[in-house]
């Protein structure tokens, strides 16, 4: 049985196959509408979510399956003190696959150890978010036609932003990548990401504090929100929250085919005047999230696809 807990749980070849399947689904979604008939997805969300939970649910419904779950620790037995290990043992009796979001780093991994069904990490604290990464990879591949040979700028809260950690780990596996890490001093990428994902392979990276300085060199700009809920005090959040604001003026500094990604939700870090720029890819990302999660559910449930005709 396979789980998706860490972005590196799938090999590069497996990711390619999954993204190919997601592309086929995007081209012909109705061909997949009965694939998960009589299957159930449980969404166990102990933290707020809009896109991740609803795109998982939409994905399962699009495949003809059913969904059950909760959207907040308060409405589950976690409020009574139940452990994730016990919860997943029960959920294993009710569903065929589960997606878990939890504020504690490592909670989905712990759940996977006790589970009898595939477990998907839908975000664990400030740690990892592998399904957002699949969404990001699909969007980059569709926009740029490839996953290697790109210079990507990641901007904002690189310390607590779990989508950033997972994306760096994943993209580091492709050839000729360059990373420009744009953040205030206090919100730099954690040391373990640099020392585990980039440095051993001598992948070039720069740490900058100026977005303007980085802009002209980027093939992709990945903006992020400052993660208020992970700050120890509100004053630091207020001081740092508007460090980077991407607007139409700054977009003039960028290459004409740069793609702007953002996992969303945005707060102030991208102004509305960027939305109509053809380089803005963040709403496309939200759409791709459904296709990629359809592909992921099929892959983990071992439902094979032969060019749209299922067996
Ligand atoms: C992200 C997350 O939850 O980490 N959101 C998402 O899943 N699309 C990013 C964020 O909350 O800033």
Evaluate: CB of 119 within 6 angstroms of ligand 1. no
Residues 149-165, mean pLDDT to the nearest whole number: 98
Q: Is the pLDDT of residue 158 over 90?
A: yes
Q: Token match 């299922």: residue?
A: 310
Question: Over pLDDT 90: what percentage of the chain?
Answer: 94
* Tens digit of each residue's pLDDT (9 = 90 or more) over 260-270: 999 999 999 99
132 Cβ below 6 A of ligand 1: yes
CB of residue 99 inside a 6 A radius of ligand 1 = no
Catalytic, out of 30, 38, 80, 252:
80
**Are residues 284 and 140 in contact, defined by beta-carbon separation less than 8 angstroms?**
no
Cα 161 to ligand 1 centre (Å): 8
51 counts as catalytic: yes
Check 52, 133, 151, 163 and give the catalytic one. Answer: 52
Q: What is the pLDDT of residue 78?
A: 87
Contact at 8 Å (CB) between 159 and 187?
yes
Say what the pLDDT of residue 219 is: 98
Residue 311 scores a pLDDT above 50: no
pLDDT for 4-40, tens place per residue? 999 999 999 999 999 999 999 999 999 999 999 999 9
Q: In DSSP terms, which residues pair with 309 in a beta bridge?
A: 306
Shortest-distance Cα residue to atom 7 of ligand 1? 52
Distance CA 10, CA 17 (A): 10
How many whole angstroms separate alpha carbon 129 and alpha carbon 208? 24
Q: Is 52 a catalytic residue?
A: yes
Model confidence pLDDT, tens digit, residues 202-254: 999 999 999 999 999 999 999 999 999 999 899 999 999 999 999 999 999 99
Q: Which of 263, 284, 289, 292 to mutate to test the pocket of ligand 1 (most atoms within 8 A of CB)?
A: 263
| Mean confidence (pLDDT) of the chain | 96
The band of 77, judged by pLDDT with boundaries at 50, 70 and 90, is confident
Asked if residues 280 and 274 have their Cβ atoms less than 8 Å apart, the reply is yes
- Per DSSP, the three-state class of 174 is coil
pLDDT at 305: 73
Is 166 close to ligand 1, i.e. is its CB under 6 Å away? no
Q: Strand 66-71 to strand 97-102: parallel, antiparallel, or no bridges (unpaired)?
A: unpaired
Check pocket membership of 127 for ligand 1, CB cut-off 6 A. no
Percentage of the residues of the chain whose pLDDT score is greater than 70 = 98
76: confidence class by pLDDT, cuts 50, 70, 90: confident
From CA 134, how far away is CA 199, in angstroms rounded?
23
CA gap 263, 225 in Å, rounded? 9
Cβ neighbours for 222, distance < 8 A, ≥ 6 positions apart: 136, 152, 153, 154, 155, 164, 167, 261, 262
- Is the C-beta atom of 263 inside 6 A of ligand 1? yes
pTM to 2 decimal places: 0.96
- Residue 122 CA: nearest ligand 1 atom is 7
Model confidence at 62, pLDDT cuts 50, 70, 90, reads: very high
In the annotation, is 30 catalytic?
no
Residue 89, pLDDT > 80, answer: yes
Q: Is 288 in the pocket of ligand 1 (CB under 6 A)?
A: no
Q: How far is CA 269 from CA 128, 156, 163, 211, 265, in A?
A: 21, 8, 16, 12, 10
Tell me the pLDDT band of 185, cut-offs 50, 70 and 90. Answer: very high
Contacts of 93 (CB under 8 A, 6+ apart): none
């Amino acid at each position: 049985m396979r789980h998706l807990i860490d972005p590196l749980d799938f090999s590069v070849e497996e990711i390619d196959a999954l993204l190919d399947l997601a592309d086929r689904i995007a081209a012909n979604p109705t061909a997949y509408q009965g694939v998960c008939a009589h299957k159930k997805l449980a969404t166990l969300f102990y933290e707020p979510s809009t896109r991740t939970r609803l795109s998982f649910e939409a994905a399962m419904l699009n495949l003809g399956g059913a969904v059950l779950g909760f959207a907040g620790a308060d409405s589950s037995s976690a409020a009574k003190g139940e452990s994730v290990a016990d919860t997943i043992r029960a959920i294993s009796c009710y569903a065929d696959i589960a997606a878990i979001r939890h504020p504690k780093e490592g909670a989905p991994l712990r759940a996977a150890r006790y589970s009898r069904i595939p477990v998907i990490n839908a975000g664990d604290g400030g740690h990892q978010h592998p399904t957002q990464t699949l969404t990001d990879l699909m969007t980059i591949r569709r926009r740029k036609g490839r996953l290697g040979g790109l210079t990507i700028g990641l901007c904002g809260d690189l310390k607590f932003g779990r989508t950033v950690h997972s994306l760096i780990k994943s993209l580091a596996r492709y050839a000729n990548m360059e990373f420009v890490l744009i953040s205030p001093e206090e919100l730099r990428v954690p040391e373990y990401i640099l020392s585990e994902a980039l440095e051993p392979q001598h992948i070039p990276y720069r740490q900058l504090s100026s977005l303007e300085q980085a802009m002209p060199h980027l093939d992709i700009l990945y903006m992020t929100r400052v993660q208020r809920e992970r700050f120890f005090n509100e004053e630091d959040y207020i001081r740092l929250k508007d460090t980077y604001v991407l607007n139409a003026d700054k977009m003039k500094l960028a290459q004409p085919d740069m793609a702007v990604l953002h996992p969303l939700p945005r707060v102030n870090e991208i102004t509305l005047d960027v939305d109509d720029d053809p380089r803005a890819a963040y709403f496309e990302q939200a759409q791709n999230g459904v296709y990629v999660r359809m592909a992921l559910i099929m892959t983990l449930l071992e439902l094979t696809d032969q060019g749209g005709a299922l067996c």
